[in-house]
């Protein structure tokens, strides 16, 4: 195999239409002219996956997952064939493969399949013939030749796994953004592009709301040390490098600020302050598959206490129903839910060694008279639950307080 081999992944926005596809093809051509052998991974164009899902649910509100995979995989299949055609139009010899043809073998968990191995022979044979190989992202096949998909955003995972399987351990992820920013640049006008970010920081940013890369792809990249370069299809500029932290990488206290509106708060009032009751409540919820996140129990003065926690918004109704029943059985009071909340978080590996991050964040919120309803921390992040309509203001205030913006 030639020394220079590269994996380039183009997301849904980069192949949204013929013009974008042509831009992507020109990027591939650029690498080709520099003597690279190239594997391209594509997502379905634009909102195709959402539209296919909508269609399925319209026909059958409880669609079977095998058929969902059959259906959703077509989005990327169309995309890879069109990309091969676009490349051929640019004079680049290209061939497209579905995930199955590309040798991506997964387990049998439809819609959330895990890659078990990649049989690279077919890809390598085409590369040897000097062809650009375009692979449909987000999909694979089981050992029994059933088509599977890798979870939403799974084309990132395809790219990372291919970079590992082809032993290049580097891939470029193209989209319409120039990289990862210290905060959403649509909201914070002087947000700055991050040059290098550690896997753990990126994972926190992703899971806390900055939807740039699929979480699982980051976990796999971290495990196998695959360096990811997130960059723009519009500008030939260095974007953000996601990689393992090295000693020389600056341990900034706060790398970025992110937020999301995916959770709701549930409060159970007047819970008797007796051992075992919290256990009953949260055991019941976990048995029903409800993912509880932040939990706060207020101090009890008269031997009763209020307990609040957050759950994904999509689970509010189920949660309230379950919790009301428990509340009755343990002699607790009313149960409330609040969907008008959001989570704002600061992320940075430097927090491990620099004290005072929480204080600074709370001060920034206080300076805008924003009330903190709940707090949680991990070793590299601090999150607060606040009113949803204060999120943007909070984002700007915290970003400024930590001096993360570009100087103008
Ligand atoms: N098309 C799939 C999705 O929308 C996979 C991807 O875009 O990476 O989730
Ligand atoms: Mg994506």
- Does ligand 1 have an atom closer than 6 angstroms to the CB of 140? no
* Residue 1: per-residue pLDDT: 47
* Residue 3: per-residue pLDDT: 60
At 406, the pLDDT band (50, 70, 90 cuts) reads confident
Q: Write the pLDDT tens digit of every residue in 273-323.
A: 888 888 999 999 999 999 898 999 877 778 889 999 999 999 999 999 999
Closest CA to 204 of 160, 287, 260, 279: 260
Closest CA to 24 of 36, 48, 8, 5: 8
Sheet with 37-42, strands from edge to edge, namely: 94-97, 132-136, 37-42, 5-10, 170-175, 227-232, 240-243, 196-198
Average pLDDT, rounded, for the chain: 93
- Does ligand 1 have an atom closer than 6 angstroms to the CB of 44? yes
Flag whether pLDDT at 2 surpasses 60: no
- Does ligand 1 have an atom closer than 6 angstroms to the CB of 99? no
- Does ligand 1 have an atom closer than 6 angstroms to the CB of 103? no
Q: Write the pLDDT tens digit of every residue in 374-401.
A: 999 998 999 999 999 999 999 999 999 9
Ligand 1: which of 43, 47, 161 to mutate, judged by most atoms within 8 Å of the beta carbon? Answer: 43
At 249, the pLDDT band (50, 70, 90 cuts) reads low
Flag whether pLDDT at 213 surpasses 60: yes
Q: Write the pLDDT tens digit of every residue in 349-365.
A: 888 888 899 999 999 99
Q: Which domains does the chain show, CATH number per domain?
A: 2-176 (3.40.1160.10)
* Residue 121: per-residue pLDDT: 98
Q: Which atom of ligand 1 is nearest to the CA of 12?
A: 7
Ligand 1: which of 49, 68, 174 to mutate, judged by most atoms within 8 Å of the beta carbon? Answer: 49
- CB-count burial class (<10 Å; 0-12, 13-18, 19+) for 70: middle
Percent of the chain with pLDDT over 90: 85
């Amino acid at each position: 195999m030639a020394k220079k081999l590269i994996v380039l992944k183009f997301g849904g926005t980069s192949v949204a239409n013929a013009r974008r596809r042509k831009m992507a093809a020109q990027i591939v051509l650029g690498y080709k002219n520099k003597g690279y052998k190239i594997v391209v991974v594509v997502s379905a164009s634009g909102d195709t996956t959402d539209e296919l899902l909508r269609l399925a649910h319209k026909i059958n509100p409880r669609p079977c997952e095998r058929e969902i995979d059959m259906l959703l995989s077509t989005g990327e299949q169309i995309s890879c064939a069109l990309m091969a055609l676009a490349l051929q139009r640019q004079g680049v010899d290209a061939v497209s493969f579905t995930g199955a043809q590309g040798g991506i073998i997964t387990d049998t968990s439809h819609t959330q399949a895990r890659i078990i191995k990649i049989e690279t022979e077919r890809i390598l044979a085409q590369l040897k013939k000097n062809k650009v190989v375009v692979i449909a992202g987000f999909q694979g096949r089981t050992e029994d030749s059933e088509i599977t998909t890798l979870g939403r955003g799974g084309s990132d995972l395809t790219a990372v796994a291919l970079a590992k399987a082809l032993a290049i351990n580097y891939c470029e992820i193209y989209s319409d953004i120039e990289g990862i920013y210290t905060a959403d640049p649509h909201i914070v006008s002087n947000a700055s592009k991050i040059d290098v970010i550690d896997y753990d920081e990126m994972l926190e940013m992703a899971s806390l709301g900055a939807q740039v890369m699929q979480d699982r792809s980051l976990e796999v990249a971290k495990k196998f040390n695959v360096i990811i370069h997130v960059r723009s299809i519009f500008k030939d500029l260095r974007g953000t490098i996601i990689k393992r932290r090295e000693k020389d990488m600056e341990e900034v206290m706060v790398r970025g600020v992110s937020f999301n509106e995916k959770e709701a708060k549930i409060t159970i009032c007047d819970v008797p302050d007796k051992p075992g009751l919290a256990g009953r409540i949260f055991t019941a919820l976990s048995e029903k598959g409800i993912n509880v996140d932040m939990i706060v129990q207020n101090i009890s003065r008269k031997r009763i206490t209020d307990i609040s926690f957050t759950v994904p918004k999509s689970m509010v109704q189920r949660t309230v129903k379950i919790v009301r029943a428990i509340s009755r059985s343990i002699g607790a009071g009313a149960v409330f839910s609040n969907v008008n909340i959001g989570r704002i978080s600061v992320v940075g590996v430097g927090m491990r060694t620099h004290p005072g991050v929480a204080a600074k964040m709370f001060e920034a919120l206080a300076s805008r008279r924003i009330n903190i309803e709940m707090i949680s921390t991990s070793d590299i992040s601090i999150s607060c639950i606040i009113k949803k309509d204060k999120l943007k203001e909070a984002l700007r205030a915290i970003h400024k307080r930590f001096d993360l913006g570009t100087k103008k």
